[in-house]
C-alpha cells in the first residue's frame, strides 16, 4: 500500500492519477477537505480508503497500521499559503506533522517522499542549488518558506537524507488547482479575462532594476512534478533533497503571452497592476531550479515548456466543462 497525504490537493491528486495510470490502486489517501471544492479532485480516482489528515495521526498512534505493509509514504499535504501570518500554525502543520509522519515511515521501512518548496531559497541571492551544504544558510522570505526550510534542515541534521526524499517544487501550474484561491497559478487566475477579453493582468515590478513583466520564475507543469514524485516512489533506494522545476527561468510576460495565444488571442494584451502591499519585500523576483542532482538520480524525462504546458492546460482542462484531471 502507498499512503498519499494532500491527496485531494493540487499536486497530490495528480500524483494519485499518475499512480492509477501505472496500475496502482492500493492507496490510502489523506487530506482535509473542509468546505473547499477540492473533494472533486478525488472523483474518478481509485484507492482503498480516505482518511482526514488529523485522524491519520490518531490511527498511527493507535497502531491501526501495525500489520499493514506500507511500501511508500508520499507526503504532499501542507499549508501552502505563502501569505499565512500564523507561523505557529505553519510549523504545526508543515514541520511537526512532517516529523511524525517521517518517523512512522522509517519505522515501517517505507519509502518517504515529501514536498519541500523553492520558497526556502528566499530572494535567491545564494542561488538555487540543492546542495546540502547550502541549505542551512538559506533565508526564506515568509513563514511558509521557514516551515519548509526547517524540515529540510531537520532531515539533514538527523542524517536522514540518504533514507528519505525531499522535493523542492518551484512554480507549479496545471489542472486540479481550482480550489487554491489566491495561491492558484497566474494561468488559472488570468484565464477568464484572457479568454473573454484577450487581456492578461500581471503584477507590476516594484524594483527599479526589474521591468514590469520581467520578473522570472521557473514554471513547472504539474504533470512533470507528478512524474518526479513517482520516479522516487519507484526508486526504492537512495535519497536526498532535489529541486523540481523546468530548469529554465521564464518571464511572467512570456507566461502571459503563452496564455493569450492558447486562448486564440493576441500576445499584446498584457496589462500591469500594482503589486499588493502584503507581497512587497516577500516576493521572489527570480527562481531557476538547478536540476543536476535530479538528473543524476536517473530522472531523464524532458520538462514541458510553458508554451506546451499552458496550451494543454487551457485546451485540455480550463476550456472544458469538467476541467478536472
Catalytic amino acids? 144, 180
Is-contact 246 220, C-beta < 8 A? yes
- Residue 323 contacts residue 184 (beta carbons within 8 Å): no
| Cα dist from 269 to 85, 87, 200, 213, 263, whole Å | 34, 39, 6, 12, 12
Strands 216-217 and 250-251 come out as antiparallel
Q: Are 291 and 228 in contact (CB under 8 A)?
A: no
Q: Which H or E run includes 146?
A: helix 143-157
8 Å CB contact between 98 and 259: no
Pairing state of beta strands 171-173 and 219-221?
A: parallel
Q: What are the residue ranges of helices labelled H in 41-142? A: 53-62, 87-90, 97-108
State the DSSP H helix or E strand holding residue 72, giving kind and residue range, or none if neither.
strand 72-75
- Cα angle 47, 49, 51 (rounded to 5 degrees) comes to 130
User: How far does CA 109 lie from the centroid of its chain?
Assistant: 25
Amino acid at each position: 500500500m502507498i499512503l498519499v497525504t494532500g491527496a485531494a490537493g493540487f499536486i497530490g491528486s495528480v500524483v494519485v492519477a499518475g499512480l492509477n495510470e501505472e496500475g496502482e490502486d492500493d492507496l490510502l489517501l489523506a487530506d482535509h477537505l473542509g468546505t473547499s471544492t477540492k473533494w472533486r479532485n478525488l472523483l474518478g480516482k481509485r484507492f482503498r480508503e480516505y482518511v482526514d489528515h488529523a485522524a491519520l495521526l490518531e490511527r498511527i498512534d493507535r497502531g491501526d497500521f501495525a500489520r499493514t505493509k506500507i511500501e511508500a509514504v508520499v507526503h504532499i499535504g501542507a499549508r501552502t499559503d505563502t501569505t499565512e501570518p500564523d507561523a505557529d500554525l505553519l510549523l504545526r502543520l508543515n514541520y511537526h506533522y512532517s516529523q511524525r509522519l517521517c518517523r512512522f515511515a522509517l519505522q515501517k521501512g517505507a519509502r518517504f517522499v515529501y514536498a519541500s518548496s523553492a520558497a526556502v531559497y528566499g530572494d535567491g541571492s545564494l542561488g538555487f542549488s540543492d546542495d546540502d551544504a547550502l541549505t542551512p544558510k538559506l533565508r526564506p522570505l515568509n513563514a511558509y518558506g521557514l516551515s519548509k526550510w526547517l524540515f529540510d534542515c531537520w532531515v539533514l541534521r538527523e542524517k536522514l537524507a540518504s533514507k528519505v526524499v525531499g522535493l523542492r517544487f518551484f512554480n507549479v501550474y496545471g489542472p486540479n488547482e481550482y480550489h487554491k484561491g489566491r495561491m492558484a497559478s497566474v494561468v488559472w487566475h488570468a484565464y477568464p479575462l484572457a479568454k473573454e477579453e484577450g487581456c492578461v493582468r500581471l503584477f507590476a515590478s516594484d524594483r527599479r532594476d526589474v521591468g514590469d513583466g520581467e520578473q522570472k520564475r521557473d514554471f513547472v507543469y504539474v504533470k512533470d512534478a507528478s512524474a518526479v514524485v513517482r520516479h522516487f516512489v519507484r526508486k526504492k533506494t537512495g535519497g536526498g533533497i532535489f529541486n523540481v522545476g523546468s530548469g529554465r527561468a521564464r518571464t511572467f510576460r512570456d507566461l502571459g503571452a503563452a496564455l493569450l495565444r492558447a486562448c486564440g488571442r493576441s500576445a499584446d494584451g498584457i496589462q500591469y497592476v500594482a503589486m499588493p502591499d502584503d507581497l512587497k519585500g516577500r516576493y521572489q523576483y527570480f527562481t531557476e531550479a538547478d536540476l543536476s542532482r535530479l538528473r543524476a538520480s536517473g530522472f531523464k524525462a524532458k520538462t514541458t515548456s510553458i508554451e506546451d504546458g499552458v496550451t494543454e492546460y487551457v485546451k485540455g482542462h480550463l476550456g472544458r466543462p469538467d476541467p478536472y484531471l
